[in-house]
Structure 1
Amino acid sequence: MSLAHIHSTHPALKIVEQPAPRIRAVPQGTEARGFVLYVGIDEAKAAAAGTSLHRIVEALKALASDLAPSAETYAAVALAPEGAGGRDVDVVRLALQDPSALAEHRTEVDELDRAHSGVVVDISRKRVILDNETAALTYKEFELLQYLVLREGRTIDRAEIISSLWDASDDEDTPNERTIDVHVRRLRAKLGRYEDIVRTVRGVGYRFDRHADVSIRQASTPSPDRF
């Protein structure tokens, strides 16, 4: 029996249209203002498919404009260290700070840290793990170590460290070469048996030398909209 027949035989029966179902991810008291679509593909895979990241982005923007002319779009390129590995879409989610991806990543990193004996310099989370224990570095001590780590193998003179890590807004007195030596000594003391990863080059400055038991965790960040 058709709906038309039911309505004709039962004139008092009215068909009530049901409202569109609410998006499950939107809690009560809030409204959806847009969405994020994570696309995992690198430039080489796009080229192999006969396209490019730029063309994919432009096509998606055009589709959104056709479907809803008032829609506003913003595209960000997800950057990651070369050879980062993993599924492309997972790398994208992590680089673009997707909350669930960040939580998963922290769990994985924490498990790796607990299983790793040695030194973990975690630049993304601003911490140093020594034999599964977090080292109690001050902000300036970590900044000093990070500065050397990011210039691995290069000797950095004290003047460069001062100009790069200290400015007029610091609470400390105007630093000098002695200031750097004191900070390095304190840093080494907290590194314990791994103190020699920060080496002194006499008459010049300091250098970070990575050992087999040292792991560096880099940060991944998105680029601005460049399309």
Structure 2
Amino acid sequence: MSLALDTRPATVTPLRRVEAPAPAAPRIRAVPEGTEARGFVLYVGIDEAKALADGTSLARIVEQLKALAAEVAPSSETYAAVALAPREAGGRDVDVVRLALQDPAALAKQRAETADENLDRARDGVVIDLSRKRVLLDNEQAGLTYKEYELLQYLVLREGRTIERAELISALWSEADAEEAPNERTIDVHVRRLRSKLGDYEEIVRTVRGVGYRFDRHADVSVRHTSTPSPDLV
């Protein structure tokens, strides 16, 4: 058996050099279609006392930043504005500066936070303050009469227990109230008036048909007790 050898010189294919694509010019932020960036704003948050502690001043910081802009881009134009705010305004310096200079994003954030706070204040639920003998509905004091408050307090202190009308009459109407001739109808009238003043929270005074009334606490109801515990607690 004979072998045929290929004596032709090997062909070497030269490698082509692939150039890496040039990096795109960095952009601070994409601009909407049909617009172009004409400059930028740099907010510097620092008050005069902090600048002095750093061994400088606001005027010197402004001068050096303007000089740096002229060095990096001689054709640039600069304008400096000092933000004024009440002393001890609180918050981060840069946020105070943005608000003082009417930065749109900062103003929008402030409006959103204010709306959230107003919503929270508008719906704070019921606060039954037994220590001060008052009832707050969404931060507004409910105009309960003495008897209406005493009725609600009696139910609150016996939370979870249905109170019969006869017990309410015995506990809340003394001999001095005899001219009212209290009866079960009297209790029903006072409960109806109490509920009307509780408004959206009237369901905290629940009717147990054929028996009486009960205080039902909900998630939006807060009871501030006095130092005296509930009479039904052992």
TM class by smaller structure: 0.3 to 0.5
TM-score scaled by structure 2? 0.44
TM-score scaled by structure 1? 0.46
Name the structure, 1 or 2, with higher relative contact order (CA <8 Å, separation 6+).
Answer: 1
Q: Which of 1 and 2 has greater Rg? A: 2
